[in-house]
């Protein structure tokens, strides 16, 4: 009979689960809002070329893809459909014309040529185009134009290319991220004060660490090299290198007095990509996801750790040169 693995505290379990979801998106953009990273991928046409590659050891995306073509590119050549065919693309099947500006909408209006907005993420897509054109000034008489993928269950055409990860990769990332929680210096004590007994916390910690070892997800040297663990194999923030406390995974951010938000859900410790997410690579993967301070994450943004450190060094030097204490 298998031993039942004790459950994590609810907030921590939810936090780890959400790492397999994409960032938020509103109705004015083409992307889906907080869905699985294995959802339909949206590929800008300029990236669909001979050098395009799928994630390592994969031959496709789990839920397909849609290539988005700018109107000016599509309509510049009368035989563009033949150009697409040579690239294994068919309009309405795996690619769409994507309107983003009022100028393109007015110049190449799809309604005047009988096109329909797409509604499905799998072939056939149910149309030829999708539009997310922001409103312009009243003088231009340009109201907001949102066409395609607008239903309650079908909002957004897909996810950003660089956010993609297969379901298998997502699961590996979640396991490694939980292991990093358990490698915090006070993880067991914190868990035992948040719905777990100390015995159950120890049991789950051992189970997760053993499982990660068996799946090659707990190479301490690698984790140290990529700034996730210190020399004593304790979890640290990848930017400031301070040891992380398990308390930060379960406590809400401190808010400035007078600017409090009652429904704040941001915790002190956030998911941290060591190498930033960007087009051309798939960086949501094991040994590239750690935990870091919310503030450090905000400072790093999409610049990456090394670029951020270089910038910080210049800022400190400039302050010192100007006579300010640092």
What tens digit of pLDDT does each residue of 208-263 get?
Answer: 999 999 999 999 999 999 999 999 999 999 999 999 999 999 986 443 444 444 44
What is the number of H-type helices and E-type strands within the chain? 11, 8
Which pLDDT belongs to residue 254? 47
**Residue indicated by tokens 């210049």:** 314
User: Would you say residue 137 has pLDDT above 80?
Assistant: no
C-alpha 8/C-alpha 207 separation (Å) is: 12
Closest C-alpha to 67, from 86, 34, 93: 93
At residue 152, the pLDDT reads 83
What is the pLDDT at residue 93?
Answer: 97
* 203 and 131 belong to one structural domain: no
- The tokens describing 240, both together, are 């400031």
One domain for residues 178 and 245: yes
Say if CB 162 and CB 43 are below 8 A apart.
no
* Residue (of 321, 185, 301, 286) closest to 243 by Cα position: 185
Lowest mean pLDDT among 38-52, 171-185, 246-260: 246-260
Examine the domain organization and report whether 65 and 197 are in the same domain.
Answer: no
Backbone angles phi, psi at 265, to 5 degrees: -115, 0
The reply to whether 10 falls in a domain is: no
pLDDT at 251: 82
What's the pTM?
A: 0.91
What average pLDDT does the segment 13-34 reach? 93
Q: Rounded mean pLDDT of 104-109?
A: 96
Q: CA 37 to CA 44: how far, in whole Å?
A: 17
CB atoms under 10 Å from CB of 5, counted, come to 12
Tell me whether the omega of the peptide bond preceding residue 188 falls within 30 degrees of 0, making it cis.
Answer: no
The per-residue pLDDT for 257 is: 45
Are residues 268 and 243 part of one domain? yes
Give the end of a domain, one of 110, 134, 157. Answer: 157
pLDDT of 302 strictly over 90: no
Q: What length is written for the chain? A: 326
Query: Based on the domain organization, do 270 and 172 belong to the same domain?
Result: yes
pLDDT in tens, 193-213: 999 999 999 999 999 999 999
Position 257 in a domain:
yes
Quick one: tokens of 174?
């979640």
The predicted model gives 267-278 an average pLDDT of: 93
Which residues are paired to 176 by β-bridges? none
| 186 in the same domain as 292 | yes
Which of 131, 157, 183 marks a domain boundary? 157
CA distance linking residue 286 with residue 275, whole number of Å: 11
- What is the largest distance, in Å, between two alpha-carbon atoms of the chain? 73
**How many domains does the chain divide into?**
2
Residue 181 lies in a domain: yes
Domain check: are 61 and 185 in the same one?
A: no
> Is residue 18, in this structure, part of any structural domain at all?
no
Highest-scoring range by mean pLDDT, 127-141, 169-183, 253-267: 169-183
Q: Would residue 51 count as lying in a domain? A: yes
Check whether 265 has a pLDDT greater than 60: no
293 and 175 share a domain? yes
Q: Is residue 196 part of a domain?
A: yes
Question: Is 57 a residue whose pLDDT tops 70?
Answer: yes
Report the pLDDT value the prediction gives residue 2, as an integer from 0 to 100. Answer: 67
Has residue 252 been placed in a domain? yes
Q: Are 214 and 116 members of one domain?
A: no
Same domain, 60 and 151: yes
**Average pLDDT, whole number, for the chain?**
92
Specify whether the CB–CB gap between 42 and 161 falls below 8 A.
yes
| Residues 255, 133 share a domain | no
Any domain includes 24: no
Q: What is the pLDDT of residue 295?
A: 93
Give the integer Cα–Cα distance in Å for 290 and 196. Answer: 23
Of the candidates 200, 104, 208, 100, the one whose C-alpha atom is nearest the C-alpha of residue 147 is 100
Residue ending a domain, choose from 98, 131, 157: 157
Distance CA 177, CA 8 (A): 13
Q: For residue 294, what are the domain limits?
A: 167-314
Note the pLDDT tens digit of each residue in 3-17.
799 999 999 999 999
Position 1 pLDDT exceeds 70? no
Q: Are residues 186 and 244 in the same domain?
A: yes
């Amino acid at each position: 009979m298998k031993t039942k693995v004790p459950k994590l505290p609810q907030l921590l379990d939810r936090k780890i689960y959400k790492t397999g979801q994409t960032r938020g998106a509103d109705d004015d953009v083409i992307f889906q809002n907080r869905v699985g990273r294995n959802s339909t991928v949206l590929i800008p046409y300029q990236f669909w070329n001979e050098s395009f590659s799928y994630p390592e050891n994969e031959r496709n995306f789990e839920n397909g893809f849609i290539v988005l073509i700018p109107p000016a590119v599509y309509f510049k050549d009368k035989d563009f459909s033949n150009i697409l065919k040579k690239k294994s693309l068919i309009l309405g099947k795996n690619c769409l014309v994507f309107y983003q500006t009022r100028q393109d909408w007015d110049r190449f209006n799809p309604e005047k040529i009988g096109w329909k907005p797409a509604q499905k993420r799998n072939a056939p897509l149910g149309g030829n185009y999708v539009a997310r054109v922001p409103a312009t000034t009243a003088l231009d008489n340009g109201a907001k134009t949102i066409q395609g993928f607008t239903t309650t269950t079908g909002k957004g055409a897909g996810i950003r290319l660089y956010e993609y990860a297969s379901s298998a990769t997502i699961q590996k990332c979640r396991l490694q991220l939980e292991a990093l929680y358990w490698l915090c210096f006070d993880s067991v004590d914190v868990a035992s004060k948040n719905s777990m007994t100390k015995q159950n916390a120890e049991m789950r910690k051992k189970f997760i660490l053993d499982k990660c070892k068996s799946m090659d997800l707990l190479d301490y040297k690698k984790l140290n090299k990529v700034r996730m663990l210190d020399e004593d194999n304790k979890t640290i923030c990848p930017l400031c290198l301070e040891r992380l406390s398990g308390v930060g995974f379960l406590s809400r951010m401190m808010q400035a007095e007078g600017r409090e938000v009652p429904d704040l859900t941001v915790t002190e410790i956030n998911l941290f990509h060591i190498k930033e997410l960007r087009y051309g690579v798939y960086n949501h993967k094991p040994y590239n996801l750690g935990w870091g301070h919310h503030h450090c994450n905000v400072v790093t943004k999409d610049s990456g750790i090394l670029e951020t450190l270089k910038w910080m060094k210049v800022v400190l030097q400039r302050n010192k040169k100007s006579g300010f204490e640092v």
